[in-house]
Amino acid sequence: MTGRPTPATPPAATPRLVLKGISKVYPTVVANDQVDLAVQAGEIRAVLGENGAGKSTLMKIIYGVTRPSAGQIWWEGEAVEVENPAHARSLGIGMVFQHFSLFETLTVVENVALALPGKPALDALARRITAVSERYGLPVDPRRPIHALSVGERQRVEIIRCLLQNPRLLIMDEPTSVLTPQAVRKLFETLRQLAAEGCAILYISHKLDEIQELCHAATVLRGGKVTGECIPAQETPASMARLMIGKDLPHCEHGAAKTDGELRLRLAGLSHASDDPFGTDLKDIHLDVRAGEIVGIAGVSGNGQQELLRAISGEEPLSEKFPVQICGVEAGRLSPGQRRKLGLAFVPEERLGRGAVPGMALADNALLTAAHSQHMVAGGFLRFGRARDFAQRCIEAFNVKCGGPGAAAKSLSGGNLQKFIVGREILQVPKLLVCAQPTWGVDVGAAAFIRQALIDLRDRGCAVLVISEELDELFEICDRIAVIAKGRLSPTRPASETTVEDIGVWMSGLWPGAEASEPQPPTTRAESPNA
C-alpha cells in the first residue's frame, strides 16, 4: 500500500476483500509470489499486467477455482477459504472469465441457470436475461446454443450471467476486447453505476487507456509479483507501461502506403449462405486489396468475420469460382492448399487446434502450411531436417520464446505461439497475407512486434488483409479500413481520413448507402449508437 490519499476512492472502513501473501506454485512455474491486494466497497481497482503475469491465476484463487499454495484471504473482514466457485458466488463474488466457461451444447439460458442456485424457471430467466442484455447493450438471444455463438457473443453471455447475480465483488477479466467503442462506453457506465451502488470491481486488463478512464486504483503485476500500486489518473500510459513490462512501450513505424500496387485479392460480389443455422450469411461483398497496402476489416464479432475468413482461406469452398480472386486467379472453388500455392498465407483466429496442432512439435507445425513452399516433402516422404530448420528460422526471426523446434505447440504461451504462426506464414514470403485477430490475448510487447512485422511485410510489397475487433490496432497499422456488419461489408475509407467514432457508428451497420441496399426501418436496429 502506498498510503497516498486516493480521492477517487470512496472511504470505507473494512475493505471488501483483502489478500495477504498469496502464492500459487505449479509443478513448472510460480504463478503468484507473495501477492498482497485489497479492494474497497465501491472501488474499481485495476489489476494490470502482461499475459502470464499471474493476473488470471490470482483471480481464479479469489473465485475459488484454484487453491493458493500459501497466503490468506479476508472477505469483508473475515478470514475465509474459498472452497469453489459456488462458495464464491454465495459470498457475493462474480467473475467474467477471459477464457469462457460455458457448456457448448447448452443454450444461453441453460448456461446461466447452471450458475444460479436452485432450479430457476427457464422462461422467467430468459426474460431477465433479455432485460439485462438490453439494459447494458449486450444483445444476445437466450435460446441460442453456445456453440453457435461467436467469441464476442459468448463473452456477452458471461457478462450477463454475472450481472444477474447482483454481485458485491465483480471480477472482469479483459472484458472489452470484443466490444464496439460505444459498447465499451456503455459497459463503463454500467460498471461505474455498479461501483456507485457499492459493488467492488476488480478490472483485469492490459489496456492502459481504459484503465486510466475507468479505474480508481491499480495494482501492477509482473512475473507473479506485485511491482507497484498507482492511481491511474495521476499516471501516464507510458509510466504504467514501465511498471507493467519493466521497460518503455514499443511503437510501430508506419510509413505511407503504395496505392498503385498490383491487385492481389478481389472479392467480387461474394455471397454465401452459412451452413450453421446461427451463422451469418455473407451478402454481396466487394473488396480489393493491392500489393503494398494493409486493409483492415473492423466489426463486432459474429457479424460474418468467421464466414468471410473461411471463404477467403478456402476452408469453406464456394460453389462458384469468380467471387474470390487471388492474384488474378478465380479461386472460389479451390482448396486451402491450392490457394496457398497462388501465394495466399493465412493466420487464423484460433491458435491452438487450428493454426497449430497442440500436441505436435513446432517443427511438425511448420509442416502444416509450409510443407510445399519450403520443399519439406520429397517423393511423398518428409524431410525433417528442413522442417526443423524452417521452425528454427521462425523462432529466431520472430523472437519466439520456447524450448526449440522440438517444443510442443501447447507448451508455448499464447503470444509466443502467435509469433510462431505469424512467422511461419510471413517467412514463406506470401503475396497476400490474411490475418485474423493478430494480437488477441497477446501481451503488449508481442503485439507491437507482430504489428510491426505486418507493416514490414507490407513495405516489402505484400498485400495484407487484417480482420480485427480491436479498433486501436486497426488504426495503428491499416492504410484503409472497412467494416463488416450483419454479413455486409462497408466501403473502405483511408484510415487517415476517418476516426474511431465514425467506424464505431459503421460497426452497427449504418454507413452511407447501407440503407439503400437493404431498406429497413431504423427502429428495428438493435443497438443504434446514436440513441
Partner 1 sequence: MLELEARAEPSRLMSWASPLLAVVLMLAGGMLVFSALGKDPAEGFRVFFINPVKDLYAVSELLLKATPLMLCAIGLAIGFRANVWNIGAEGQFMLGAVAATGVALHFEGSESGLLLPAMIVAGAAGGAAWAAIPALLRTRFNANEILVSLMLVYVAQLFVSWLVFGPWKDPDGFNFPQTKMFGEAALMPMVLEGTRLHLGFLIALAALVAGYAFMNRSYAGFRMRVAGEAADAARYAGFSAHRMIWVGLLLGGAAAGLAGMGEVAGPMGQLTDKIGSGYGFAAIIVAFVGRLNAFGILLASLLMALLYIGGEQAQQYLNLPSSISMVFQGMLLFFLLGSDVFIHYRLRLRRRAAPGR
Applying CB under 8 A, the residues found at the interface with partner 1 are: 26-28, 70, 313-315, 335-340, 346, 348, 350, 353-360, 364, 367-369, 371, 377, 380-382, 408, 411
Provide the minimum distance between the beta carbon of 486 and partner 1 in the complex, in angstroms, as a whole number.
Answer: 25
CA neighbor of 367 nearest in space, from 326, 451, 424, 311: 424
Provide the minimum distance between the beta carbon of 194 and partner 1 in the complex, in angstroms, as a whole number.
Answer: 33
DSSP string, 128-183: HHHHHHHHTT----TTSBGGGS-HHHHHHHHHHHHHTT--SEEEEESTTTTS-HHH
CA neighbor of 57 nearest in space, from 204, 249, 268: 204
What's the maximum distance between 2 C-alpha atoms anywhere in the chain?
75
d(CA 161, CA 418): 30
Nearer to partner 1, 186 or 340 (CB): 340
Provide the minimum distance between the beta carbon of 368 and partner 1 in the complex, in angstroms, as a whole number.
Answer: 5
Nearer to partner 1, 34 or 338 (CB): 338
Provide the minimum distance between the beta carbon of 349 and partner 1 in the complex, in angstroms, as a whole number.
Answer: 11
Cβ within 8 Å of residue 495, ≥6 positions away: 296, 474, 475, 478, 479, 480, 481
Instruction: Supply the DSSP symbol for 526.
Output: S
Kindly give the pairing relationship between strand 282-290 and strand 200-205.
Answer: unpaired
Instruction: Supply the DSSP symbol for 87.
Output: H
Provide the minimum distance between the beta carbon of 20 and partner 1 in the complex, in angstroms, as a whole number.
Answer: 12
Provide the minimum distance between the beta carbon of 147 and partner 1 in the complex, in angstroms, as a whole number.
Answer: 13
Cβ within 8 Å of residue 200, ≥6 positions away: 16, 17, 39, 40, 41, 42, 43, 45, 168, 169, 170
Nearer to partner 1, 127 or 401 (CB): 401
Nearer to partner 1, 227 or 373 (CB): 373
Provide the minimum distance between the beta carbon of 315 and partner 1 in the complex, in angstroms, as a whole number.
Answer: 5
H or E stretch covering 419: helix 414-426
Find where cell 494490470 sits.
48
Nearer to partner 1, 252 or 360 (CB): 360
d(CA 390, CA 366): 7
Contact 102, 111 (CB under 8 A): yes
Nearer to partner 1, 35 or 187 (CB): 35
Nearer to partner 1, 39 or 465 (CB): 465
Q: Measured between alpha carbons, how far is residue 451 from residues 294, 447, 527 in Å?
A: 11, 6, 31
Q: Is 411 exposed, middle or buried (0-12, 13-18, 19+ CB in 10 A)?
A: middle
d(CA 381, CA 361): 18
Terminal Cα distance for the chain, rounded: 42
Nearer to partner 1, 192 or 354 (CB): 354
Provide the minimum distance between the beta carbon of 29 and partner 1 in the complex, in angstroms, as a whole number.
Answer: 8
Q: Measured between alpha carbons, how far is residue 66 from residues 45, 92, 175, 313 in Å?
A: 22, 18, 21, 40
d(CA 91, CA 202): 16
Nearer to partner 1, 379 or 521 (CB): 379
> Phi and psi at residue 428, in whole multiples of 5°?
-85, 5
Provide the minimum distance between the beta carbon of 350 and partner 1 in the complex, in angstroms, as a whole number.
Answer: 7
Provide the minimum distance between the beta carbon of 201 and partner 1 in the complex, in angstroms, as a whole number.
Answer: 29
d(CA 462, CA 503): 25
Nearer to partner 1, 182 or 313 (CB): 313
Provide the minimum distance between the beta carbon of 384 and partner 1 in the complex, in angstroms, as a whole number.
Answer: 8
What Rg value do the Cα atoms of the chain yield, rounded? 24
Provide the minimum distance between the beta carbon of 280 and partner 1 in the complex, in angstroms, as a whole number.
Answer: 19
Nearer to partner 1, 175 or 348 (CB): 348
Nearer to partner 1, 151 or 211 (CB): 151
Provide the minimum distance between the beta carbon of 317 and partner 1 in the complex, in angstroms, as a whole number.
Answer: 10
Nearer to partner 1, 303 or 369 (CB): 369
